[in-house]
Amino acid sequence: MEGCVLQLLNDTLSRALNDQMNFEFYSAHVYLAIAGYCSGESWDGFANFFIVQAEEERFHAMKIYKYLNDRGKRVTLSGMERPNNLYGSILEAFQHAYEHEKIVTRLIYDLSDIAMNDREHATMQFLKWFIDEQVEEEAMFDSIIHKLKRIDKDSNAFFMLDAEFAQRVFTPPASA
Ligand code: MG
């Protein structure tokens, strides 16, 4: 038998994947900082929402960690920028999260471009999951922002939204 059909990832692609892994860990950090703001304001449901979001981001990072190892590459952890810890309102916090997700989407697209240029089909397939995930993430934040804009922050509806988000739990996707 000959060896494995899959070639080692080239340096540009593996470096870009490693950068994305670090950015996903950073995203977890960004969302945990938002959770901290919400907790400080006693919006425990919104805080829970962002704690779960942080867990999801860590899960995304670990997916890339595993993938790089599967492809014979060693991961390198970087330092992190200080995330924003202060927000003017819950709405502002969600708007910041939405803008952050748009950056993530752009980075995933750039990464896919590199994989496509390399005709690295396994990586393109791997990244498809992230592309689909970004559609979900952006739609979710967009919808929450719409709701938050519709309701007054001292209204019952606002308290109910906080209570609803208290129920969110992290469940790793079965297919992942
Ligand atoms: Mg992510």
Distance in angstroms (rounded) separating the CA atoms of residues 164 and 45: 7
- Which pLDDT score is estimated for 59? 97
Q: What is the pLDDT of residue 85?
A: 97
Cα 9 to middle of ligand 1, angstroms? 22
All residue ranges of the chain with pLDDT < 50 are 1
pLDDT at 126: 97
Question: How close is the Cα of 1 to the center of ligand 1, in Å?
Answer: 39
pLDDT at 173: 79
Residue 174 has what pLDDT?
74
Handedness of CA 131, 15, 20, 176 (dihedral sign): positive
Quote the ligand 1 centre to 54 CA distance (angstroms): 9
Q: How many angstroms separate the alpha carbon of residue 103 from the centre of ligand 1?
A: 10
Alpha carbon of 131 to ligand 1 centroid (Å): 10
pLDDT, position 6: 72
Q: pTM for this structure?
A: 0.93
